[in-house]
Structure 1
Amino acid sequence: MPVETDIRTKIIGAAQKLIARYGYGKTTMADLAQACGMSPGNLYRYFPGKLDIAEQLAIRAFEEEVSALREVVRRSDLSATERLKLFFCTQLRVTHAKLNDDPKVFEIAEIIRRERPELTNQNLARIRALLSEILSAGNASGEFNIPDVVNTAETIQCATLKYHYPQLFTQLSLAELERELREVMNLLLQGIFCGKAPSNGAKQGRNSQN
């Protein structure tokens, strides 16, 4: 690993620990410099400001989420219906786990959403692309009847945003959120199933508790 990359990684790691302890607002570049054993001036050589470090933390979190969702898309042992339900269940569980492990991480998410909206939009687009793969697979298998996969992926994403943003969890437990999500998915699936009765695999996916 190049020296500069190694130092940037060290800074990002230190920032994650400090922000988890004190919050984004109370963590200063001087604090980060001290934690990394360097001068503030040297720190600015690697990151122009605190927001740029927050962006890297957000990118790291986005990558973890997309990686988990990509694994669901690749589950060839599951029907498209099963993968679709597991896709959103996984997204909810990843988000909920982050909330429990590090509540202050969502302070960063809110700042990035406000200050660097293009980054949030890019992540949503990546998730939609993965979702489109599942919908296309469902069309190919005869489970779904979706004339416009891209538009449908966007619509489903909009309908399930509550389970992606902890600000909308309304203090519900994970079990309660999963129950809600199952009901939402059942309604959405009714709209995209092929005209014939779902296959056994699709029925199993609809009844799965995941």
Structure 2
Amino acid sequence: MTSISTDKADPKQDPREAILKAAADRILHYGYNKTTMSEIAADCGMSAGNIYRFYPSKIDIAEAMTREFGKNSRAAYEEIIRDAARSATRKMRDFFVARLERTFKIFSENPKLMELAEIMARERPEYLAEEAAQERKQIERILDEGRESGDFALPADLNITADLVQCAMMKFRIPQLWTTEQLDALRPELEGLLGLVFTGLSARR
């Protein structure tokens, strides 16, 4: 899958990948609750019993789908972090703008994902905590670079600062979970909040 794949399953491909593609196609169209393991198996050309050899339950398939989305999102943000031409301040801004625009677009184009996100939050909170920790690591790297360059005035332990920045930006992670505002309203809100964050990060310079 790329972000969320809707390509039809290819019977020649790896069974796990075929299952994920079939599940994504069906869940994005009908929703998580209206999708059954038997239907996913049929879309893959396998028996209902056989699918359980690869995924013990439907929520395990959902987690695998969201893990793929998280991996691809981090890869996209990694390009920003590794761009030597951008300052740490610019990287921080571009990181959160890219996150907002990416998630807003995907959830707008695939409204059934909202149901999936709510179910994952309820049934697999440990996975969401793991994803948040992965994101904090990326934020920490930007903060560390900014401290080294003099853009940010920060203590040696960046974990708490990264956590605070992440919490401040929570509304813009999956904005449709929190608000009905559209992207043209969310962008200036994010820019305003980033301005406050940058003021705080440079306050002790």
Q: Equivalents in 1 of 2:160, 2:60: separation in Å?
A: 33
Asked if residue 78 in structure 1 is aligned to residue 86 in structure 2, the reply is yes
SS in 2 for 1:75: coil
Match of 2:199 in 1: 190
Report if the CA contact (8 A) 1:72-1:83 is conserved.
Answer: yes
Answer yes or no: is the 8 Å Cα contact 2:74–2:135 preserved in 1: yes
Q: Structure 2 vs 1, CA of residues 100 and 20 (structure 1 numbering), >3 Å: closer, same or farther?
A: same
Q: How far off its partner does 1:41 sit?
A: 0.9
**Share of identical aligned residues, percent?**
39
Which secondary structure state, in structure 1, belongs to the residue aligned with residue 32 of structure 2?
Answer: coil
Encode CA deviations 1:135-177: one digit per residue, 9 max, x unaligned.
Answer: 1111111111011321110000000100002344421111211
Selected match of 1:14 from 22, 35, 47? 22
- Find the residue that maps to 1:26 and give its secondary structure: coil
Instruction: Give the match's secondary structure for 2:42.
Output: helix
Deviation at 1:7? 0.7
The one-letter amino acid paired with 1:22 is Y
Q: Which amino acid aligns with 2:68?
A: R
8 Å contact kept, 1:169–1:177 = no
Report the count of equivalent residues: 194
Q: Does the aligned pair in 2 maintain the 1:143–1:194 contact within 8 Å? A: no
Cα separation, 2, equivalents of 1:194 and 1:172: 31
Are 2:160 and 1:160 equivalent residues in the alignment? no
Q: Give the drift of 1:4.
A: 10
Say yes or no: does 1:95 pair with 2:110.
no
Instruction: Report the aligned-residue RMSD.
Output: 1.7
Candidates 136, 139, 153, aligned match of 1:131: 139
Determine which structure has the larger helix proportion and give its number. Answer: 1
Deviation (angstroms), 1:195:
4.2
- List 4+ stretches of structure 1 deviating above 4 A: none
Mapped contact 2:100–2:175 kept (Cα < 8 A): no
What is the aligned partner in structure 2 of residue 37 from structure 1?
Answer: 45
- The answer as to whether partners of 1:142 and 1:194 remain within 8 angstroms in 2 is no
Q: Which has the higher contact order (CA 8 A, sep 6+)?
A: 1
